[in-house]
Chains A and B, each alone.
Chain A
Amino acid sequence: MPTPFGAIFSTNITPDADTGIGRWPEEAFRRAMRSGVDREGRHLYPTFPYDHFTNVTDEDDRALYAYLMTREPVVAAARPNQLRFPFNQRFIIAGWKLLFLQRETYHPDAARSAEWNRGAYLVEGLAHCGACHTPRNAFGAERSQASFSGGESDYWSAYAINATSPAPVPWTADALDFYLRNGWHPDHGTARGPMADVVRNLAAVPGGDVRAIAVYMADMFGPPRSQRSREAVIAQAESAAAGVEDPQGAAIYAATCGGCHESGRPPPYGGINLALSSALSAGDPRNLINIILAGVPPLEGERSPIMPGFAGIMNDRQIAALVNYLRSRFAGQPAWSGLEKAIEETRRTQTAYQNTSAGPISAPADAAQRDKP
């Protein structure tokens, strides 16, 4: 995992005795989840999100331990981390914990429904949504004052998922529930990058838990600032589009993107109307650039949204023209600053992300679909 301090590699959590956690008693596992300490007592880097896992109940820790210890052991030594001095000295994590580790931040709220509380428990604990969606301070700790106001993950920007959300149509519990189960929503578009992995993992989670997460998160978004419907957002973008003069960007959009994105075919098979996309209204252009470069790969055995990538054919100048046009026409906002640098960086890091991605990018979301023709 890339961090501002260097690369951290995850370790083997199969029950292999020498390279995994095969010799870990349950107590050591619980201590790692609660306090970020390994079996030998060494501090673990908080890329392992124990700042969230501290909220996990004893019962769930026990179940996780039982599950992990009954997997097939795999001999796989972890790659050494590539951290700069002084971050490669584990004792400094003790100081970090003293300053930033807040234990047991989740407390049930008796005034709320059982579903809301279940959602809060999952979001603040095992689901650790804030690990990506909450901004971090200079020491890599989540800024608890700015919960869910947007962060980043693997060179993608993780949108704000609170009142400052850039979504043109406000999120609701129903929309979140649908999106988290299917990986797309007709008012919002498609889960991509690391969020596509999240949706893939949620496919194994009971529907009631996904619903609880949606209910809790809808509350975090707060009451919608506007009652804008999908139709209203699209109509407004169309009336504003007349004033946008950008022949080069407009030509690339019409010839390359419009065929799908203005086809009127509903998602997941048709492209979403770009007026609905958070990628255009967000403060950070990286997700838009990422998706232009890489597209949306198809999932094996799934009915899922698909889009070809254009990394091979569009040069940086053409991407800049397209991005500026989309931003102005669909989001009605001034051009992103530092766009050229962002395009160059995204092209580089996107390749790195694909090369280091753990599994094949087209692994099926539903485990039951695997190995079927």
Chain B
Amino acid sequence: MTTLKVNGQDHQIEADADTPLLYVLRDELKLNAAKFGCGLGQCGACTVIVDGKAVLSCVTPLLLVEGRQVTTLEGLGTVEAPAPIQRAFMEEQAAQCGYCIAGMMMRAQALLQRNSKPTDAEIRAELTIHLCRCGTHMRILRAVRRAAQLMDTAELSAAGQEKLR
């Protein structure tokens, strides 16, 4: 039995310790945002955040994740209240088929958490391992830039409200 912390909640997982995190998220916890793409850690569709870092969940066995904080796309926002990264991807219409997008968003989110104003080169370097077969790369780049702005203004307005109180 492994204790897994996902999106702030503890789960008792019965799967073997060598089970890929992706299978546990999708099959046991029914969190289907992270996708199975290649199963070899080569495409990025399965990316989730573990302790603030983007991680390929298809090549990450459960035994490496015990006791850590796992965040999936479901943990960032909801349809009613999307997170800035989700809003930005919708506003830029970055998804075509959408299969790669959840992974793209998670790595972009991890990037923006440690670097709130990345350059274009930094965004490209960060997302370089993610494959998109539809070819919406330019929209994805715009979406990440927009997300950076949204997070920036969200922080400013939060700070402003703090001051008013």
Contacts and interface: CB of A to CB of B under 8 A. Distances in A.
Interface stretch (B50-58, B91-99, B145-153): B50-58
B42 A306 contact: yes
A256 interface: yes
Interface stretch (B5-13, B28-36, B61-69): B61-69
User: Which of B41, B42, B62, B124: most chain A Cβ within 10 A?
Assistant: B41
Interface residues of B, number: 21
A313 B63 contact: no
B56 A318 contact: no
A211 B128 CA distance: 34
A254 B50 contact: no
A256 B53 contact: no
A255 B63 contact: yes
Contact of B50 (A307, A312, A360): A312
Contacts of A260: 40
A295 B41 CA distance: 10
A312 B53 contact: yes
B164 interface: no
Contacts of B83: none
Contacts, number: 53
User: Which of A252, A298, A312, A318: most chain B Cβ within 10 A?
Assistant: A312
Interface in B9-52: 17-18, 40-42, 50
The interface size bin for chain A is 20 to 34
A313 B20 CA distance: 13
A297 B129 contact: yes
A2 interface: no
A28 to B, nearest CB: 35
Contacts of B40: 260, 306, 308
B64 A256 contact: yes
A304 to B, nearest CB: 12
Contacts of B141: none
